[in-house]
A = this chain, B = another copy of it.
Amino acid sequence: MKKRVVTISREFGSGGRTVGKLVAQRLGWTCYDKELVLEIARRSGFDLSFIQEHGEYAFSRNSFLFDLSAHGSAAGTLSVYDQLYIAQHNIIAELAQEGNCVIVGRCADYILKDREDCLHAFVHAPVPFRADRIVRLYGESADAPEKRLKDKDSRRKTYYRHYTGRPWGVMQNYHICLDSSVVGVETCARMIAEAAAGEGEPAQGG
């Protein structure tokens, strides 16, 4: 079945963002990654840096902001984090309704899990490959990149679990999971685009 939306979930540094862009290029669709942050900022009024920091990462319990406003008021109003999640949720649902888009991260796989016109992909890679990649491509410090990777993944896991109620990165929640260190970033993109285009036999075959 041909799909109208692709979601890409990814381990930090695996190349998932690049895969998302390449999938969108192949299909002639729009890729929402940084574009999604801009769109959320435009529609919600949240600050760009706040969305980048808190839109898919659990907050640090030591932060000033956590003490100040994480839990909302005594009257039960939503915390700023919950408000951001809801804003993201609504925008992702709207973008999927419009279709022809690739959405990177931000629990989109969970938010769109009941839409049959979505393909859910996950890109991962072993830590040494990702550590090398973030130092080489993103200019991350070569000092303990493994620690930074693990911290990022851990905060994504915590965020995902908190807002979706299910564990992050379970293969049964995705239609295609690829190790970019072996399959290659370009080939990952080609395979995901092919699966989204519904190339191959119908689901009941074989």
Is there an interface contact between A185 and B172, defined as CB atoms closer than 8 Å? no
**5 cross-chain pairs, A with B, having the tightest CB-CB distances, nearest first:** A187-B200, A185-B206, A177-B177, A184-B200, A171-B171
Is there an interface contact between B185 and A205, defined as CB atoms closer than 8 Å? yes
CB distance from A186 to the nearest CB of B (A): 5
| Interface 1/0 per residue, A173-192 and B, CB below 8 Å | 01111111111111100110
A15 on interface, CB distance cutoff 8 Å: yes
17 cross-chain CB contacts under 8 A: A18-B206, A22-B206, A124-B172, A170-B171, A171-B171, A171-B177, A176-B183, A177-B177, A180-B203, A183-B200, A184-B200, A184-B201, A185-B201, A185-B205, A186-B200, A186-B201, A191-B191
Within 8 A of B (CB), among A133-191: 169-172, 174-187, 190-191
A119 on interface, CB distance cutoff 8 Å: yes
Within 8 Å by CB of A179, from B175, B178, B205, lies B175
Given A174-B177, A177-B171, A206-B15, verify A182-B200 contact (CB < 8 Å). no
- For A206, list chain B residues within 8 Å (CB): 15, 18-19, 22, 180, 184-186
CB distance from A10 to the nearest CB of B (A): 12
**Residues of A with Cβ closer than 8 Å to B?**
1, 15, 18-19, 22, 119, 122, 124, 126, 129, 169-172, 174-187, 190-191, 194-195, 199-203, 205-206
Given A15-B206, A171-B122, A176-B177, verify A195-B187 contact (CB < 8 Å). yes
At the interface, is chain A mostly helix, strand, loop or mixed? Answer: mixed
Is there an interface contact between B171 and A184, defined as CB atoms closer than 8 Å? no
Given A176-B178, A177-B176, A203-B129, verify A183-B195 contact (CB < 8 Å). yes
- For A200, list chain B residues within 8 Å (CB): 183-184, 186-187, 190
- For A1, list chain B residues within 8 Å (CB): 182
Q: A183-B195, A191-B191 are in contact. List 8 more A-B contacts (CB 8 A).
A: A129-B203, A170-B171, A176-B176, A176-B179, A184-B205, A185-B206, A187-B194, A191-B194
